[in-house]
Every structure is written in structure tokens, then in C-alpha cells.
């Protein structure tokens, strides 16, 4: 099963890639309008802007630019600056190693270690509001925090929302010992620079979020897909202890998104360095730091990006193993998936799959178990080979691994499990395939929780209502560690009955049949 999960993660990389924006000009004054909000952080003043019932501070540096000789090194603190910095324009995305979904594909830069902060309009220093710290997904190779606005969440739930960029691809995850040794760190040696960025952003949040009205003692780390894999890594990283107090994992269970070990990470890194033309062990670090950014992206085109590696000083143990052993940063957990996760991947890679091709693929993938898989997932029962294969991959990967990961959490900490199930949900803009039902696919829930820029169409009124209920559940969990919302369906903690909250526009409800619905007993026997 581990190889199946890694293959699915690799499919996402395959299926789903300038110039740094100049200094932000001061926003035009609004005659007669209220003064724009200003906060003071460790690096100086920030002048944000008010939008509706929320205030936003955009493009805030949490680390120094990782460019030039700072490329492929641990992040350093951002410089202090006099005066007040304009914080009304989002920063570029980090360099994309498999670009997908950016409004402006040229709006990327290696100088990308920035975050956006959203707070309720009435928030003031000392308000001690809960903090939601969001990490975007994208197979560790694409995406940006700027696609996930937090204005609505902040206003509705009276929380402070932080959305971060972190280094991607081989600039974020390159397990070469020469790079780890060259970092000059006094702490753990590692090539997981993206994970180091996330830790740096959490430390910045701990130091500065009170200025926005947030409570540094109540931070919820949250992420989807590779962002959820990043949450798994933070749960297992000793240096992350105390930086957060709750965790939300969306469509990225820890038992599915396993980390590569050091030998595998090093082998992948050396293959990448060779593709760049950096083969001299004594000069590989300087060679990689001198290479043009586009050349790095080109070299990575046919090579995997596996995310943070385990077995080094930063992440000593694979997160799933650490959580299973009980040696992790224990906090209350919310975890879930969408009803038909794999529809996105199958639509992007095999949209016109025939019945014969479906059968051949299942037999080739599952060997002796192939005939039983075909019997359990017949094309006739699903309506098409596309839907049948989507069900096979959804159940064997995201759904059942969500259940299994949740059971491990629930034996140790309060754990709340959900399934997003809107049979008419939008999908990602640019990912639609005519004639295919892509509802409930991977990433479908994002438009319901964020001011999301990648939905293929606006939400209907019923879907907006579901999104409001979801935000309130998430906000209650961030506030207290328990998603109890007056007037909404109760959400009990997971226990022996494996209770799951089904997020459906028609009727949010609980179920104990999640594992049976996804045939998890069968898939467990194949693990």
C-alpha cells in the first residue's frame, strides 16, 4: 500500500508549474475614509487595508529572501526596517516546479518567503483570538498561499488567519548531505528547506501574532494535500513542539503521504544535481546555488519531488511511524477527505479510459488480488471505467488511509473525522474534462473554507450555506479543540464506532459506515 500511495502522490506531480514584483507603492488615500490599520511587528510597522468586515496585511516577510548564496540554506530572520511597510499587495508565488492554476504564471520568484494575515475588523492587540495557520497543497511542487484568502473565515469565526508560502520542488526539498553540512546550522542537519520555512513562519507567528490580536498560545496548523503532509511532518518534528496547539489534516493522511528515507532522498537529489550539471561532490552546493532558476525547473521536469525526508536531524522518524509510537507533538486533531478524491487525478491522466484498459490496469496493479478488485468495483456499478477507477483509487488511498490515520490519532488525542460530500461541487479551474463528473474530487472542499481563487465556478447559495457551517466547525475547533457549534449538527469525537461527520449541503449528518462504504476492511487485508 505504501507504493500505491507514493504512486498517487507522484501522479499529482505529473498531472498538475519571473520576476520579483517591485516595491509596493503606498495605497491611494481614501478622502474622508477611516485610517488604514497599522500594526507593529518585530521587523517594523505594517500598514494593511480593510476589506468588508476584515482587515488584511499582505506580503509580510517572515524570513530573509533565500536567493543567491542563501539558496538551499536554512531560512534566516527577515531584516528590520525603519518606518511603516505597505502591506496591501500579495507576494509572488515560490518558483513552481509543476505549474498549475496560477493566474499569472510569471508572478513567481525565489524571493517568496512571505505570508498574509487576516483578522476581524474589530481585532486589536491583546484580543487573544485563535490563530489558523494555513499551508497550501500542490504535491510540494506548486501552489501559493495567496490563493487562499482568509477574510471570510476571520470575520465569521473571529479568528486570525495566516496563509504562508514555502519553498517548493528541489529548492524546498533536496536531500544532499553536502547541502545539509553547508547550512552552518547549530541545530538539526537537513535538506528539507520547505519544512524549515514552515517552522520559521510558525516562529514568526508566535513572536508577532499578538500584534494582530491573535493568541500565540492557541495556534492551529492546517493544510490540504501536501499541506496536510506538512502538518504530519510538524506533528513529528521535535523542533515544532510548542509552536502549535491543534492540527487539521485535509486530504493528506499521514499513513498515505509517507516521507522518503535519507538514502532515497539522497538518490533523488543526486539524480537532480546530475541533470542540472552539478556532478562534482566538492562543488555541488556552489554549483546548485549558481544555476539559473529556470534551469532548475527544467531539470526537475522528469524527476520526483518527495517532500520532506525522514531520518535526519529535523525529522528523525517518518510521521506515521512517530504517531503510531506515541512519540509526537500531541494535540487535538481534525482529519478528513472528500467523497471521491481520485476523480481529479484520473480525469487529468486517463479521462477516456476504456473498460478493457480499466481491467488491464487493475490486474497489473493489484496482481493476484486484481480479480477481486474488479469484482468489488465493476464498471456497471459505477457507470463508467473513469468512475470505477476513481472509486478504486479513492478507497484504497485517501479514504481508508484517512480512517486508519484517524484511528491512530483517536487512541491518543481527541480526534474529529469528516467526509466532504457535495455531489455538485465545483472543481479546480483548468482541470475540467467535458463529460466527466468531477464532483467531490481532490480539493473540492477548498472553495467552501477559503476565499479561494481556483474554483471553476462560484458556489450556489446552498453551497455558500454549507461553507458557512464548515467555517464555523473549523473555527470552533481552532478556538477550543472541539468543533461544537450551537445550532449545527453535533460532531462527536471519533472512537470505537469510527463516527464521521458528513458535510453535505442537503443534510450535514454523522455516520458510522464510512469504512464500510469505502471497503476499508478489504483494503486493509491488501496492505
Contact in structure between 486 and 418 (CB atoms under 8 Å)? no
Which residue in 150, 159, 128, 119 sits closest to 38, CA to CA? 119
According to DSSP, the residues that pair with 148 across neighbouring strands are: 452
* 68-to-72, 73, 366 alpha-carbon distances in Å: 9, 10, 47
Active-site hit among 109, 225, 337, 340: 225
d(CA 155, CA 76) in angstroms, rounded, equals 32
Residue 270: CA count within 13 A, CB half-sphere: 11
And the C-alpha cell for 248?
A: 487539521
Contact 363, 371 (CB under 8 A): yes
Least Cα distance to 443 among 165, 224, 147 occurs for: 224
d(CA 431, CA 348): 7
First to last CA, the chain: 5
Determine whether 225 is an active site residue. Answer: yes
Pairing, β 214-224 against β 246-250: parallel
Q: Distance (Å, rounded) from C-alpha 174 to C-alpha 171? A: 7
The whole-angstrom separation of Cα 200 and Cα 240 is 10
* Cα three-residue angle 401-226-473, rounded to 5 degrees: 70
What the block records as the C-alpha cell of 504 is: 453535505
What are the residue numbers of the active site?
A: 225
Amino acid at each position: 500500500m505504501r507504493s500505491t500511495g507514493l504512486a498517487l502522490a507522484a501522479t499529482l506531480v505529473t498531472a498538475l508549474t519571473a520576476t520579483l514584483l517591485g516595491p509596493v507603492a503606498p495605497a491611494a488615500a481614501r478622502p474622508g475614509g477611516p485610517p488604514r490599520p497599522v500594526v507593529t511587528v518585530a521587523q517594523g510597522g505594517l500598514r494593511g487595508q480593510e476589506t468588508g468586515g476584515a482587515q488584511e496585511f499582505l506580503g509580510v516577510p517572515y524570513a530573509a529572501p533565500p536567493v543567491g548564496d542563501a539558496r538551499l540554506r536554512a531560512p534566516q530572520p527577515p531584516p528590520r526596517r525603519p518606518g511603516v511597510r505597505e502591506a496591501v499587495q500579495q507576494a509572488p508565488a515560490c518558483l513552481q516546479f509543476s505549474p498549475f492554476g496560477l493566474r499569472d504564471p510569471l508572478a513567481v520568484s525565489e524571493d517568496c518567503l512571505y505570508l498574509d494575515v487576516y483578522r476581524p475588523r474589530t481585532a486589536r492587540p491583546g484580543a487573544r483570538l485563535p490563530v489558523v495557520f494555513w499551508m497550501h497543497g500542490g504535491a510540494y511542487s506548486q501552489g501559493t498561499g495567496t490563493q487562499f484568502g482568509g477574510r471570510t473565515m476571520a470575520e465569521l469565526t473571529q479568528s486570525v488567519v495566516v496563509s504562508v508560502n514555502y519553498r517548493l520542488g528541489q529548492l524546498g526539498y533536496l536531500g544532499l548531505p553536502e547541502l545539509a553540512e553547508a547550512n552552518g546550522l547549530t541545530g538539526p542537519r537537513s535538506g528539507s528547506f520547505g519544512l524549515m520555512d514552515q517552522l520559521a513562519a510558525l516562529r514568526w507567528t508566535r513572536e508577532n501574532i499578538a500584534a494582530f490580536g491573535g493568541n500565540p498560545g492557541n495556534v492551529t496548523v492546517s493544510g490540504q494535500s501536501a499541506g496536510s503532509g506538512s502538518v504530519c511532518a510538524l506533528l513529528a518534528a521535535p523542533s515544532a513542539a510548542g509552536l502549535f496547539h491543534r492540527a487539521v489534516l485535509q486530504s493528506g493522511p499521514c499513513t498515505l503521504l509517507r516521507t522518503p528515507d535519507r538514502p532515497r532522498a539522497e538518490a533523488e537529489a543526486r539524480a537532480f544535481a546530475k541533470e542540472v550539471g552539478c556532478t562534482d561532490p566538492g562543488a555541488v552546493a556552489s554549483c546548485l546555488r549558481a544555476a539559473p532558476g529556470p534551469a532548475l525547473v527544467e531539470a526537475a521536469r522528469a524527476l520526483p519531488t518527495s517532500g520532506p525526508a525522514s531520518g535526519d536531524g529535523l525529522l528523525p522518524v517518518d510521521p506515521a511511524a512517530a504517531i503510531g509510537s506515541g512519540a509526537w507533538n500531541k494535540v487535538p486533531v481534525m482529519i478528513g477527505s472528500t467523497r471521491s478524491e481520485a476523480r481529479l487525478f484520473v480525469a487529468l491522466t486517463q479521462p477516456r479510459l476504456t473498460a478493457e484498459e480499466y481491467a488491464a490496469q487493475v490486474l497489473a496493479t493489484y496482481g493476484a488480488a486484481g480479480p477481486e478488485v474488479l469484482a468489488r468495483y465493476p464498471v456497471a456499478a459505477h457507470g463508467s471505467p473513469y468512475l470505477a477507477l476513481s472509486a478504486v483509487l479513492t478507497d484504497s488511498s485517501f479514504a481508508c488511509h484517512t480512517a486508519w490515520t484517524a484511528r491512530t490519532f483517536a487512541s491518543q488525542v481527541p480526534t474529529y473525522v469528516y467526509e466532504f460530500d457535495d455531489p455538485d461541487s465545483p472543481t479546480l479551474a483548468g482541470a475540467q474534462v467535458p463529460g466527466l463528473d468531477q464532483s467531490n474530487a481532490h480539493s473540492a472542499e477548498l472553495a467552501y473554507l477559503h476565499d479561494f481563487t481556483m474554483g471553476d465556478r462560484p458556489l450556489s447559495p446552498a453551497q455558500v450555506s454549507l461553507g458557512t457551517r464548515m467555517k464555523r466547525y473549523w473555527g470552533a475547533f481552532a478556538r477550543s479543540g472541539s468543533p461544537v457549534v450551537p445550532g449545527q449538527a453535533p460532531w462527536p469525537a471519533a472512537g470505537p464506532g469510527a463516527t464521521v461527520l458528513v458535510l453535505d449541503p442537503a443534510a450535514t449528518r454523522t455516520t458510522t459506515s464510512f469504512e464500510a462504504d469505502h471497503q476499508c476492511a478489504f483494503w486493509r487485508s491488501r496492505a
